[in-house]
Amino acid sequence: MSVFYDYIKEFLLSNGLINQMAIYGSTLISFLALMVFSLIVYFIFRLIFVKVFGKIILRTKGIWDDTLYEHKVFHVLIHIIPAVLIYISSGFAGEDIMWFPTVMKGFAHIYLAVAVMSSFLRFLDAAQEIYNTYPYSKDRPIKGYIQLMKILVYFFGSIFIIAVLVNKNPATLFAGLGAMAAVLMLVFRDAILGFVASIQLAANDMIKPGDWITVTRFNVDGIVHDISLTTVKVQNFDKTITTIPTYALVTESVINWSGMLESGGRRIQRSVAIDINSICLCDQDMLARISNLPMFNEFITGYSSGDDEFQDHENRGALKMDLFENPSNLSLFKKYFEGYCRMHPGIHNHMTRIVRLLQSTDKGLPIEIIVFSKAQQGLQFEALQSELFDHIFTLLPQFGLRVFQNPSGSDVPN
């Protein structure tokens, strides 16, 4: 076509029918006409796709095509058509305007690169939305990987556009980036560390959105809302939002409470220091007073029908052994509270239940309670914990026991 165009141009010039300025004007007019034609073709294809293919896509049962259509991936891909037409039409300028074809080809290259980049970015957003519809997406989020791929798209797309603007081969620019590796490592430090941390978090199933975590260093205690390539957003229980680096979840000590929530129980482990001077053998009056406590005999000797399998046969026999003729008030209280925890409706029967004596100290003899609450939420859990220790402090005087407390206040004059 260009040969025919040059022949007609030479014929008209040699016969004086046109001059050089007319050639320039006709060339520009031809190019503008092709540009308008490219836009018309684009709008025609877009109209056909939106009206015809859009209705077909929305009626299908699959979710892939619907999601891609909603994110307008195909709408952006249609821009490739006018970009190709502009590239083809740039040759109609011939040799009359030397710089014009080069400029228009560069513009077409940039237009095409932007269209491809935009469509790929929209495709990544659609892919993430589709992935989030699957149940396993809650355990293995891919937002960090999507963000990394977007960074790579922007990076390679920018290199290509710069290569077009400076009229260089993109491979030459990539080779030159080797000298800037140190600078790039510094600029993308958080992104690189976050990407590696995201892989470790996903591979080891360490943390996922919805988990309750505690990070002491950052004063974080709340629910994970979002895990991205560089940051993790956690909503604390005081309703504040804390943002921490993703790689901190791998390098720092993190407590993940999801195992507790999945187990169905929450541990209560606290101790009360008993004044050693209050421990003694029970006389008949004390035994008579203690035996009148509500459900004392059931707590000392009884077992519920749904007793757990955690205690083996030997331990059960040990717990059912007869009391000594003159037991101590501490042993009676320990056995009483074991039965109380065993029969309490708010305490798990199939998890650890221990009432034990710890090493005595200058603060007295600690008696420790380790049980698991059926309630896991903060309000119910704290209510049960308060009930248990309120019961302990109330009953200790009935057994002739005292809680150790350093002298203070009104104790000093006495």
Res. 182 pLDDT band, cuts 50 70 90: low
Average pLDDT for residues 112-126, to the nearest whole number?
Answer: 86
3-state secondary structure 210-221: CCEEEECCCCEE
pLDDT (0 to 100) of residue 22? 47
Burial of 201 (C-beta count, 10 Å sphere; 0-12/13-18/19+): buried
Nearest 10 degrees: Cα torsion 174, 177, 179, 182: -140
Spatial distance between the Cα atoms of 149 and 255, rounded to a whole number of angstroms: 30
Q: Which of 47-51, 163-167, 342-346 has the highest mean pLDDT?
A: 342-346
Decide if pLDDT at 272 tops 60. Answer: yes
Spatial distance between the Cα atoms of 101 and 5, rounded to a whole number of angstroms: 15
Decide if pLDDT at 390 tops 70. Answer: yes
- The domains of the chain are located at 2-133, 171-263, 264-405
Spatial distance between the Cα atoms of 116 and 233, rounded to a whole number of angstroms: 32
Decide if pLDDT at 362 tops 50. Answer: yes
Decide if pLDDT at 304 tops 50. Answer: no
User: Which of 140 and 341 is assigned the larger pLDDT?
Assistant: 341
Range 171-263 has CATH code 2.30.30.60: yes
Contact 170, 159 (CB under 8 A): yes
Average pLDDT for residues 384-401, to the nearest whole number?
Answer: 90
**If you write DSSP's letter for every residue of 358-409 in order, what string do you get?**
---BTTBEEEEEEEEES--SHHHHHHHHHHHHHHHHHHGGGGT--B-----G
pLDDT (0 to 100) of residue 271? 92
3-state secondary structure 120-135: HHHHHHHHHHHHCCCH
pLDDT (0 to 100) of residue 273? 93
Kindly report the average pLDDT of the chain as a whole number. Answer: 76
pLDDT (0 to 100) of residue 176? 65
Burial of 262 (C-beta count, 10 Å sphere; 0-12/13-18/19+): exposed
pLDDT (0 to 100) of residue 201? 75
**If you write DSSP's letter for every residue of 29-66 in order, what string do you get?**
HHHHHHHHHHHHHHHHHHHHIIIIIHHHHHHSS-SHHH
Q: pTM for the complete prediction?
A: 0.51
